[in-house]
Amino acid sequence: MLMFCVLMVLILHMNVHCVYLNWTSHDRPNIVVLVSDAFDGRLTFSPGNKVVQLPYINYMREMGAVFLNSYTNSPICCPSRAAMWSGQFVHLTQAWNNYKCLDPSATTWMAHLGKSGYHTHSMGKLDYTSGHHSVSNRVEAWTRDVPFLLRQEGRPVTDLVGDTSTKRVMTKDWNITDVAVQWIRHTAVSLTQPFALYVGLNLPHPYCTDSLGPTAGGSTFRTSPYWLNKVSYDQVSVPKWLRVEDMHPVDYYSTFTKNCSGHFTEEEIRNIRAFYYAMCAETDSMLGEVIDSLRDTGLLNRTVVLFTSDHGDLAMEHRQFYKMSMFEGSSHVPLLIMGPGVKTGFEISLPVSLVDIYPTVLDLAGVPQPGGLSGHSLIPLVSGVSAQSAEPHPGWVLSEYHGCNANASTYMLRIGEWKYITYADGLTVPPQLFNLSKDESELRNVASHFPDVCQDLDRLLRTVVDYPSVSQAVHRYNKQQFLEWKQNLGDSYSQVIANLRWHIDWQKDAQSYERDIEEWLLGESTSGGDGT
């Protein structure tokens, strides 16, 4: 133990050396990580970005590197952020839903930077520790195996506010942006050590639908004419949908619980998508404020800027909004990096994911990598410099989902042209397989046509995660947590559960739904959800 402590002291006092970019502790770059919420990664490269003006994302593309196949490790807020901050897959951190994520004592990449001599500062939305989000959100996740079908969200709607001069729609995010800009202009410029700044935004996540009451979820796409004018309305597509009877059972469950199984006109769908893109434009402007402040202070050429998001938004693709799905709109996230040592105008098609941010940031800072990380440094990819000591990126990504609005644990492996999605124990729910090079819209599940591909990809997936065992662990956790919650409520249980986000449907037959839950609590299951 003594020798270990001595070695650590020596490491902290010696010149830290970055393997890839040849920086010493005296010229290590500043690092700015800006994370949005629910930003579709396909908008960061052509042709997706033609639908909306995103000047600062385009600037980052020109001045740095863009990853064309970057994915969330779990398409929901808290588990995704837990993966990003810990560098570990969700099944390792057991961040099963928006309520259960990282322990506050977990060692993040920001903590490593602080210990290595960086001045660190975080502001805005973090959302990677346990205990947050609404009661509805957690109860819906715990009861997803119960065989009832209840609408858990408000029907997606649009809300136009202000006029052509109204720029600040999401005032909370603008306030965070203002604080970040002031910190850069007044604090960062005077630092004698490199700094690491994290800025977390909530846009373009939909707003709460206030008319649905205090338990309402976020189903309102809100913007102003100022931002809507940034959208090329004639480029806004109306996505094709499968017939309801042809949908995968888990996708149908998601569609129904998200309140999207009813009729939508083409105008409604186009407007929802246009408003979403306008919200992305507002997000881009906030990114621009941060970049401009770095440029104005002379810090930009010494700063690596990274932009990403926790997940995307389906924006009515596959008859859904929100995330909680492995379809591209939900799982594909932006990832752009620019700064010293990063190639300019560089596109990387290799699949990567948010767990790669942890080792990447440490690599930028010349900080030794801890053991047990799921991710791989992206510095060899964006710098063009390789090193024999570096473990190459495997070329596949894993995403998994165990939360609400999906009635089976879901696992996605993305490699080459294929996206393989399997559920629960791999037996009780049919898998999905999409060839993204031929089916960008993911409307043709070809699993039955390519059984050998499914078998090979499933075998690879099982080398990464024993997913049937994980599904069963989640199933046990859900029952235990729900039972504890129910017991703690005592006599108020029936009233509380009847007034969660599903209250409109629940109160039509409350006794029946309570019986369904009691039967579920008494029953045994080995599948961890059956997708029915």
Mind telling me the catalytic residues?
77
- Rounded-to-integer distance, Cα 183 and Cα 505, Å: 48
On whether the CB atoms of residues 473 and 465 are closer than 8 A, the answer is no
**Residue 428 carries which side chain, given as an amino acid letter?**
T
On whether the CB atoms of residues 149 and 514 are closer than 8 A, the answer is no
> In the chain, what is the greatest distance between 2 CA atoms, to the nearest angstrom?
70
Structure tokens at 524: 């045994």
Of 373, 372, 338, 349, nearest to 359 by C-alpha is 373
- Rounded-to-integer distance, Cα 109 and Cα 367, Å: 10
Spatial CB neighbours of 244, under 8 Å, sequence gap ≥ 6:
252, 255, 261, 319
Alpha helices, DSSP H, located in 48-199: 55-63, 77-86, 90-93, 109-115, 135-142, 171-186
- String of DSSP letters for 301-326: GGEEEEEEES----TTGGG--SS-S-
Phi, psi of 125 (to 5 degrees): -75, 120
Describe the crossing of helices 467-489 and 135-142 by its angle, rounded to 10 degrees.
130
On whether the CB atoms of residues 283 and 36 are closer than 8 A, the answer is yes
Residue count of the chain, please give it.
532
* Block residue for tokens 């059972």: 249
- Check the CA dihedral 156-160-165-168 and report its sign: negative
Beta strands 396-401 and 410-415, pairing class? antiparallel
- Reduced to 3 states (helix: H, G, I; strand: E, B; else coil), residue 88 is coil
- Reduced to 3 states (helix: H, G, I; strand: E, B; else coil), residue 337 is strand
